[in-house]
């Protein structure tokens, strides 16, 4: 089974900007964002909606869609996969090994709203 991509889905979705990245969100699906300062089981609202697609068509913002919001429910605070950073200067006997785990927040998309009315 292949993962869902924007071209194989028929349901509504939104593309939002959060923590310097763009995310493709669908209702009742979860996504991992950079760590948010919110408690578990609280609701977070994102206002930086770049694009919305629903049954009636596609709305593209310039740069953001007016009156559009996405409600997210915080499920858990997690840590990402460990990444090894290894730097070496050849012929200098200089080596440095370092690890990194990104702090993440897993959120569930509750609703995509335009003008206060939920499209999904």
pLDDT of residue 56: 84
Residue 116: per-residue pLDDT: 84
Domain limits for position 80: 13-113
Residue 3 falls within a domain, yes or no?
A: no
Residue pair 113/71 in contact by the 8 Å Cβ criterion: yes
Domain count, the chain: 1
What are the 10-residue block averages of pLDDT along the chain, 120 residues in total? Answer: 56 93 95 95 95 90 93 96 97 96 96 87
> If you write DSSP's letter for every residue of 52-73 in order, what string do you get?
EEETTEEEE-SSS-TTEEEEEE
What is the structure's pLDDT at 15?
95
Is 4 among the domain residues?
A: no
What pLDDT does 83 receive? Answer: 97
Calpha distance 98→113 (Å, rounded): 43
103-114/13-18 β-pairing: unpaired
Q: Say if 49 falls within a structural domain.
A: yes
What pLDDT was estimated at residue 6? 57
């Amino acid at each position: 089974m292949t993962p869902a991509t924007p071209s194989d889905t028929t349901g509504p979705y939104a593309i939002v900007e959060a923590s310097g990245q763009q995310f493709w969100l669908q209702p009742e699906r979860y996504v991992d964002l950079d760590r948010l300062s919110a408690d578990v089981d609280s609701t977070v609202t994102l206002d930086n909606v770049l694009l919305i697609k629903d049954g009636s068509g596609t709305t593209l913002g310039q740069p953001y869609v007016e009156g559009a919001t996405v409600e997210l429910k915080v499920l858990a605070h997690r840590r990402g996969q460990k990444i090894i950073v290894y730097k070496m200067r050849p012929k200098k006997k200089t080596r440095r090994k370092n690890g990194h785990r990104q702090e993440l927040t897993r959120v569930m998309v509750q609703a995509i709203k335009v003008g206060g009315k939920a499209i999904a």
